Amino acid sequence: MPWKLIFVILSLVVITCLVGFNLGNSSNISLVFWEFENVPVFMTMFCSFCVGILFSLPFSIGKIAAKNKEVKKWSSQLKMPKKKHETEKKGTEQIEPPVQTE
């Protein structure tokens, strides 16, 4: 089996266990203007994780775009200009035999 698939399956098993163990645990969450009562702990963790992803996504996209721009810059510099006589190959000229005189 591929290692990535095994890792995903194990991750899902661990997450399922954490959710199962925390179903009974709940707490009150107070934001500045709102207060949520009896919110399960796993839901708080999951929402915090999702908000973190949303805030870090623009930075990741910007970093990837900058890297792609740099790769394009370097690849354009590495392209060699074509020579005028590219079809001619060195060493293929025919040499005429010397003329024998008697």
Mean pLDDT of 47-54: 90
- Of residues 83 and 50, which shows the higher confidence score? 50
d(CA 46, CA 9): 18
Which among 7, 9, 51, 8 is positioned nearest to 29, based on CA atoms?
51
pLDDT at 15: 86
- Record the pTM: 0.50
pLDDT band at 51 (very low <50, low <70, confident <90, very high): very high
Mean pLDDT of 88-92: 55
* Phi, psi angles (nearest 5°) of residue 26: -140, 160
Angle, alpha carbons 83-89-95 (nearest 5°): 135
Mean pLDDT of 48-71: 84
pLDDT band at 10 (very low <50, low <70, confident <90, very high): very high
